[in-house]
Chains A and B, each alone.
Chain A
Amino acid sequence: MGMTMTQKILAAHAGLDKVDAGQLIMADLDLVLGNDVTAPVAIHEMEKMNSKGVFDKDKIALVPDHFTPNKDIKSAEHCKCVREFAAEHNITNYFEIGEMGIEHALLPEKGLVVAGDVVIGADSHTCTYGALGAFSTGVGSTDMAAGMATGKAWFKVPSALKFELVGKPSSWVSGKDVILHIIGLIGVDGALYKSMEFVGDGIANLSMDDRFTMANMAIEAGAKNGIFPVDDKTEQYMKEHATREYEIYEADEDAEYEKTYVIDLSTLKSTVAFPHLPENTRTIDEVGDIKIDQVVIGSCTNGRIDDLRVAAKVLEGRKVAKGLRLIIFPATQAIYLKAMEEGLLSTFIKAGGVVSTPTCGPCLGGHMGILASGEKAVATTNRNFVGRMGHVESEIYLASPAIAAASAVTGKISSPADLGL
């Protein structure tokens, strides 16, 4: 029996010719990531260790993105702790305000992750880098501490689900709709402990930004990782962003998958996840009349340049509905600058939206757009759990940038088609 793509990457990093699902391995890490919420806990754990140093100052990334620019004194203290640790250990990839961005958009953009890597991050959406053909997974702060100290982590080799993507998505249907459709299909624990391996000719019709969005939300199906094969688009992306050598792994022909799902992208419609789980999906024609108070476009899921271009296309020459708040978060400084140069920010502001500096902000109920009781938001973010964006009696509807932008114009959940687009 052959190995899946994930298993091959893990085997190579464990110095083994072959691994099987369920096997416990110790793997070498190419990168260890933490942010301003999780890194302080990891740093505190490291201080308790007998060995104090880091394994490689170039293979640790520290990105203060969650509650930054510092939202209060306690957050400022956390950021200070991370900053001082980075200085003390001479960490190459510490990104201060002004050069930082949302971690999972920033690391690929900076070329810090390439195909074939094994990456752990103390943030559940670390699985995003599967879009590049890397194995990456979220861990907690203690694992991050052990990773920073030793450059290694133990893993239970995952079994896998195969998603064969065929066809071409219709206009306004994006990677967000594909992944919401899949989560609706298999549930929030449908891939628990497993890999989600995306394959098929349909992948060629998905941009890198679509793939980042999809791999990012693998965790919302409970997966250990989501991963895409490396194709021309991936190689082009890495050539533009990275200088490191990359290694392309492919699943064996006889790799074992617990189940295969065939997804015809041409049949998918824009999809919205209703409160309070990402699996509560409905297609746009089943949504009904839902009035909303706020629209958030951004996050590690959908704050990339393609996302902002789509939003601007919908908002161009239109106005946000009276009384509705539209808040847009370019995910990194480079994306922010590009959006400015392309005139997208001007479109947003003329439409009546506000544009924030890169931050996770309201996605996790941190700051910059918290909901009051009874309020409803359409967000391009990744979770719609109880209280995630504010009051426990507020509601979050997860959707693509196209749906979010159209909803901002009408004041209720809508599609670009409702605007005649």
Chain B
Amino acid sequence: MKAHGTVHKYGDNVDTDVIIPARYLNSSDPAELAKKCMEDIDAEFVTRVKPGDIMVANKNFGCGSSREHAPIAIKAAGISCVIAETFARIFYRNAINIGLPIIECPEAAKEIAAGDEVEIDFDSGKIYDLTKGTEYQGQPFPEFMQKIIKAEGLINYINS
């Protein structure tokens, strides 16, 4: 399993309120949520993002509200993987549960820049910055997590 795309880069403590503001939580439709994703910190994100793109951020990504709408919006916007130095714990659980790949890797989070072309191999946990020619070792995905992601979430995985 691999991901390949262009990087959208953010800083520390990106909270779920900026990932998907509460004023849009009167909907739970992924396509509708995707249109508003990151609106409060990066209004251009939704016009710039292409399917397969990668999000990179620093520490405590996804802090705050437990809204599962946050990883749902990121995934529906076309993001194939989020790399961060650390993730807030509820976001971490939610991302796996809905089948959005996420990787903790402090070095990659620090060095990869916005606009870089990045490839991720989920089996080995290797992250390649093709623009810079650098390589990072993230945590490989255990097999059950890869299965959850392939099944598009925990519920489908349990059913299968």
Contacts and interface: CB of A to CB of B under 8 A. Distances in A.
B59 interface: yes
B67 A193 contact: no
B139 interface: no
B21 A365 contact: yes
Nearest to A70: B26
Contact of A139 (B25, B88, B90): B90
Nearest to A145: B155
A123 B21 CA distance: 15
A394 to B, nearest CB: 11
Interface stretch (A37-45, A108-116, A201-209, A303-311): A37-45
A45 B68 CA distance: 12
Interface stretch (B91-99, B113-121, B125-133): B91-99
Interface stretch (B10-18, B46-54, B74-82): B10-18
A38 B71 CA distance: 13
Contact of B40 (A141, A146, A189, A392): A392
A259 interface: no
A78 B26 CA distance: 7
Contacts of B88: 189, 192, 222
A277 B40 contact: no
Contacts of B41: 386
Contact of B28 (A44, A66, A123): A44
Interface in B11-67: 13, 15, 17-18, 21-23, 25-28, 40-41, 59-60, 63-67
A145 B153 CA distance: 12
B2 interface: no
Contacts of A37: 22, 25, 67, 69
Interface residues of A: mostly helix, strand, loop or mixed?
A: loop
A142 B90 contact: no
A75 B26 contact: yes
B23 A188 contact: no
Contact of A188 (B13, B69, B97, B98): B13
B137 interface: no
Contact of B97 (A38, A138, A143, A392): A143
A192 B25 CA distance: 26
A307 to B, nearest CB: 22
A122 B94 CA distance: 10
B86 interface: yes
Nearest to B15: A385
Contact of A386 (B18, B66, B98): B18
A358 to B, nearest CB: 17
Nearest to B17: A385
B90 A124 contact: yes
Q: Which of B17, B22, B153 has the most CB of A within 10 A?
A: B22
Given A40-B28, A124-B66, A141-B94, 14 more contacts: A48-B156, A50-B158, A123-B65, A188-B13, A188-B63, A189-B63, A222-B89, A364-B17, A364-B65, A383-B17, A383-B65, A385-B18, A388-B17, A388-B22
13 contacts: A41-B72, A66-B22, A74-B26, A124-B64, A126-B66, A139-B94, A140-B66, A140-B71, A140-B94, A189-B63, A192-B89, A365-B22, A383-B15
Interface of A: 37-38, 40-41, 44-45, 48-50, 66-67, 71-72, 74-75, 78, 122-124, 126, 138-143, 145-146, 188-189, 192-193, 219, 222, 224, 277, 364-366, 383, 385-388, 392
Interface of B: 13, 15, 17-18, 21-23, 25-28, 40-41, 59-60, 63-69, 71-72, 86, 88-90, 93-94, 97-98, 153-156, 158-159
